[in-house]
Every structure is written in structure tokens, then in C-alpha cells.
Structure 1
Amino acid sequence: MSVEVNNETDYEVDLHDVQKLADSITEAMFIHPETEVSIVFIDEDAMSELHVEWMDLEGPTDVMSFPMDELRPGSETAPSESGILGDIVICPTIAEAQAKAGGHAVHDEILLLTTHGMLHLMGFDHEEPEEKAEMFTLQRRLLEGYTGRPAPKETVE
């Protein structure tokens, strides 16, 4: 698995831990080991531009995912095809505000947003109640499996 993680902000982010989480998620979801994913941390202005361009919504958001090859989770006996999973962009200052509101650490929020973004790249969504239940349950399981502690309350809707 090739996970590229970059921070284009002045905000301090544990990029190594984010990369390890992404590796853990792809392994747990049986994504082909030669698959590529990119995670970039950007500031509020850059996130606002992307939010308007791709979602036609004003202002910055916490996380956006851009799937590429529409790869889906595999199984233990049949991993997914290889390819480019896609790109995730995260705004750490929005993550910080959400962490404060949720009463947990900023790093925990960043890990939650990374997990959320990874699931979107794999085709999961939360538009319908059943989809939301499935995605958020899986999100919590993956994050708790990685950290070994309870996941923070979801701030992503």
C-alpha cells in the first residue's frame, strides 16, 4: 500500500500516525497492497475553495474525499483490485474546533476524519439512515481497532 501523507499547513499533525492508520484500514478492508491513496492537510481557505468547487457549498469543511478507481473492499480470500483509491483532504483547524466541541483531543478527531475519508473512498456513504448506521459502525470499529480505545463521538454528518 502506498499512502502519501502531506501537510500543507502550519498546523502540527502526526503524519506518521495518520499513515499507519490508513495502512491499518486498507489491511482490515482487504484493499490490494499495491493500491495508492493520498491524504493532504490544507488550510481553511483552500478547503473553502474545494468545498465550493466540488460541493457548491460555502465555507470550509472538515474532510473531503475524492475517489479515483472506485475500488471496493475485498475479502480475506479475494482482496480488491489494485489501483488508486483516491485523495482525502482534511482541514486541521476545523478538526480542532470539532474536537473542542466534542471534548476530545485534536489528534483523535484527525484520526476519525481520516477513517471517515477512507471509507468514502471505498464507496461508503451516510445519506440514508441505513447507510449511515453501517458506515459509522464500521468507522468506529476500524478506529477503535487501531487505537485500542473508544472512538470519539462522530462529528462528521
Structure 2
Amino acid sequence: MESSGTNLSLIHLEVAIQIEDLGETAIPDLPWQDWLQTWLRHLQPPPSPIGTYEVSLRLTSDRQIQQLNAQYRAKNVPTDVLAFATLEATAPVALEMLETQPLYLGDIVISLETAATQATEQQHSLQQELAWLAAHGFLHLLGWDHPDEDQLEQMLVEQRRLLQTVGVVT
């Protein structure tokens, strides 16, 4: 199956997972790589000349995500997920890098503390909440946004589809 010149059967996604500032917090062992790989194949990603993509996923505390939220969004409060898409950046990239390096999609940062609170409030598992937040961040990396209610609803529908593709039902 061809999409945007990229053979989706050959797509490879490298996920760098960082865990910081969580102290004694139990970190669930989740199939992040499989989820993101499946979602990338489901969505139509921008073409990568070498068919390889990269994403950074950081699980962190409310304190750390609040610092990032204050620094980059001028909101000095914790949040559940932040996404920093590199495809939106205007900095030029050397052609030879594009031809030899994975296409870096960006960073997803999730507060494990807020995710746990939201899972309890929504009466579903932490796994389901983390998958929901990762899908939301991943959509942002691929250019999705929700500046109004209509686009938010479209994004939420796509998040549900992504969770269904990996067997995490909402």
C-alpha cells in the first residue's frame, strides 16, 4: 500500500522513552513501540526518504510538566499531555540528514500523576488513559489540532479509532 510515496509496510518507528522525576511512582509496562508503530501505519505520515521515523516519549511528574507548560505555553499549571511537533518548526534541515536519518516527528510528554488521577475520575485503567494521552500527543505531532469544538470532536473521534486499532477500547 503506497501513501505519499512511502511504503507503509516498510515504516519503522524508533521510540525513545524517558522517565524522569517520578520517585517511587509505579510505571506500567506498556507496548509503546507497538502502539505508536500501529498508529503511524494507520495515519498517513509525511514521507520519510528512508521510511524511518522517530518519536520521543517522556513520562514525568506534574512538577516537570508544569515547568514545560509554563515555559512553552505560558500556563503555570500541570497538564496531562504536551506535544512538541518538529514538523511545524521552520528551521531548515540539511537534505543529507533527511536522506540518512529518521524523520523526527517530535516529543510527547505525559504526566503520569495527572494520567493516574484522570483514569480514576473516568473510572478506567491507567493503561487506557496513557494510551488516550499518547494518541492525543501523537496526533498533534502529525499536525492535528483543536482550536475549536468541531476540530476537537474530529480529533477525539480519531483518538478513539487509534485506541481501537491497538485493542484499547474507550
Name the TM tier (shorter chain). 0.7 to 0.9
The residue type equivalent to 1:67 in the other structure is A
Contact 2:18 2:57 in 1 (8 A): yes
Indicate the residue corresponding to 1:101 in structure 2. 121
Structure 1: tracts of 5 or more residues without a match? 72-80, 152-157
- Percent of aligned pairs sharing the same letter: 28
The residue type equivalent to 1:20 in the other structure is D
| Structure 1 residue ranges (4+ consecutive) displaced by more than 6 angstroms after TM superposition | none
Partner SS state of residue 105, structure 2:
strand
Deviation at 1:15, TM superposition (A): 4.8
TM-score (norm 1): 0.82
The C-alpha deviation readout for 1:38-83, integer Å capped at 9, x for no partner, is: 0001111111100111111122111000000249xxxxxxxxx961
| Structure that is richer in strand per residue | 2
The C-alpha deviation readout for 1:82-116, integer Å capped at 9, x for no partner, is: 61100000000100000111011111101100000
Q: Does 1:22 align with 2:42?
A: no
The C-alpha deviation readout for 1:96-144, integer Å capped at 9, x for no partner, is: 0001110111111011000000001111111212211211111101111
Q: Does 1:4 align with 2:16?
A: yes
Partner SS state of residue 38, structure 1:
strand
Structure 2: tracts of 5 or more residues without a match? 1-12, 90-98
Indicate the residue corresponding to 2:77 in structure 1. 59
User: Residue 85 and residue 129 in structure 1: after superposition, are their counterparts in 2 closer, same or farther (change >3 A)?
Assistant: same
Partner SS state of residue 39, structure 1:
strand
Indicate the residue corresponding to 1:155 in structure 2. none
Pairing 1:1-157 to 2, within 5 Å after superposition? 1-8=13-20, 9-10=22-23, 11-31=25-45, 32=48, 33-70=51-88, 83-147=103-167, 149-151=168-170
**C-alpha RMSD of matched pairs (Å):** 1.9
How many pairs does the alignment contain?
A: 141
